[in-house]
């Protein structure tokens, strides 16, 4: 049988990288946990609460394997469980205080290991390595999950359409009134009047000529950018588009020299909050407020770049 050189190149890289990061050792990061267990702990640590179903969808992990792993976590005091108030068939999962301490140790150890791996490299070689890693992730995710969705810059007419769709969707899904539409319109108008392509950008997601999502990166100060108005059409949710838009915003802010990316959202927007958590944003403040005809909890999230 003829050997495919592309397949062999990828296999050779996989063998190299698994050795490089120590996956072949009995415990990942010289801990009692396997790589898979550490990955599950990561997801639990970056979500306020989750369910086994969400973990399976996110990680593509076998349900039986995950169930056994969660039982061990619970038995050893790393995991807390409680019945879901929204769905009695689901159990909500949350790391215990002990679990967070253990994960904190793993995080610190991994940061040291990665820093040690990067230390011998010159700055230009580090940049080259990180760019290559980003390209691998972007290309594989794009081809697997979003074959028909493209991202483009904004064009005349886009802002009116995005304002319309967000106002309609948030009214249908959360009952928000026209105050929210007014807020979107104000943000859009300010963006267009003050737009500076060197430091700001809008990504419009399009499928077969139809707008299915968007996000904005706007300049807040010389060192701080703000992610605004992330939106994904219901027909495209679950495809990874929301994460893709957020990652584009993060990459742009980092490339333009911003030191921090910030955003404001509301606690009721669970799907968006999970995207921000997975991208590395940290909740820094929250406050109750009455807006858009509803009692809400506003949240500020930051990502150090």
Per-residue pLDDT tens over the stretch 288-301: 999 999 999 999 99
Query: For the chain, which domains are there?
Result: 5-120 (1.10.10.10), 149-304 (3.40.630.30)
Which of 10-24, 65-79, 176-190, 222-236 is predicted least confidently?
10-24
Q: Report the range out of 54-63, 104-113, 121-130, 276-285 with the highest average pLDDT.
A: 276-285
Give, in order, the Cα–Cα distances in Å from 101 to each of 95, 162, 165: 9, 43, 43
Q: In this predicted structure, what is the pLDDT of residue 146?
A: 46
Residue with tokens 């689901």: 90
Q: What is the DSSP letter of 286?
A: E
C-alpha pair distances (Å), 151 with each of 92, 156, 202, 245, 246:
35, 16, 10, 9, 12
160-173 residue pLDDT tens: 999 999 999 999 88
Helical spans, DSSP H, in the chain: 5-20, 35-45, 52-59, 63-75, 97-118, 123-145, 158-174, 178-194, 241-255, 270-279
- Mean pLDDT value of segment 174-181: 94
Is the confidence at residue 9, as pLDDT, over 90? Answer: no
What is the pLDDT, as a whole number, of residue 163? 94
57 Cβ neighbours under 8 A, 6+ residues apart: none
Asked whether the beta carbons of 79 and 99 are under 8 A apart, the reply is yes
CA-nearest of 269, 268, 278, 286 to 303 is 278
Judged against a pLDDT cut of 60, whether residue 143 lies above it is answered with: no
**Model confidence at 14: pLDDT above 50:** yes
* pLDDT at position 186: 95
């Amino acid at each position: 049988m003829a050997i495919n050189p592309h397949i062999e190149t990828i296999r050779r890289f996989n063998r190299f990288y698994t050795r490089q990061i120590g996956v072949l050792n009995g415990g990942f990061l010289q801990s009692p946990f396997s790589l898979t267990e550490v990955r599950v702990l990561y997801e639990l640590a970056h979500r306020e609460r989750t369910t086994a179903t969400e973990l399976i969808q996110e990680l593509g992990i076998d349900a039986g394997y995950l169930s056994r792993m969660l039982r061990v976590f619970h038995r050893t005091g790393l995991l807390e469980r409680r019945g879901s108030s929204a769905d009695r068939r689901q159990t909500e999962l949350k790391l215990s205080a002990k679990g967070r301490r253990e994960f904190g140790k793993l995080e610190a150890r991994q940061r040291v290991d990665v820093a040690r791996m990067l230390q011998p490299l010159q700055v230009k070689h580090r940049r080259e390595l990180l760019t290559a890693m980003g390209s691998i992730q972007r290309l594989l995710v794009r081809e697997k999950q979003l074959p028909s969705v493209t991202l483009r810059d904004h064009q005349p007419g886009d802002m009116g359409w995005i304002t319309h769709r967000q106002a309609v969707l948030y009214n249908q899904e959360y009952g928000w009134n026209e105050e929210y539409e007014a807020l979107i319109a104000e943000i859009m108008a300010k963006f267009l009047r003050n737009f500076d392509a060197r430091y700001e950008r809008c990504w419009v997601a399009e499928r077969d000529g139809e707008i299915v999502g968007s996000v904005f990166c706007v300049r807040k100060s010389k060192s701080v950018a703000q992610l605004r108005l992330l939106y994904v059409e219901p027909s495209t949710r679950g495809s990874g588009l929301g994460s893709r838009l957020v990652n584009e915003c993060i990459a742009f802010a980092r490339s333009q020299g911003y030191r921090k990316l910030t955003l404001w959202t509301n606690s009721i927007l669970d799907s968006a909050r999970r995207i921000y958590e997975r991208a590395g944003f940290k909740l820094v403040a929250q406050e109750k407020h009455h807006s858009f005809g509803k009692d809400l909890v506003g949240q500020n999230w930051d990502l150090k770049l």
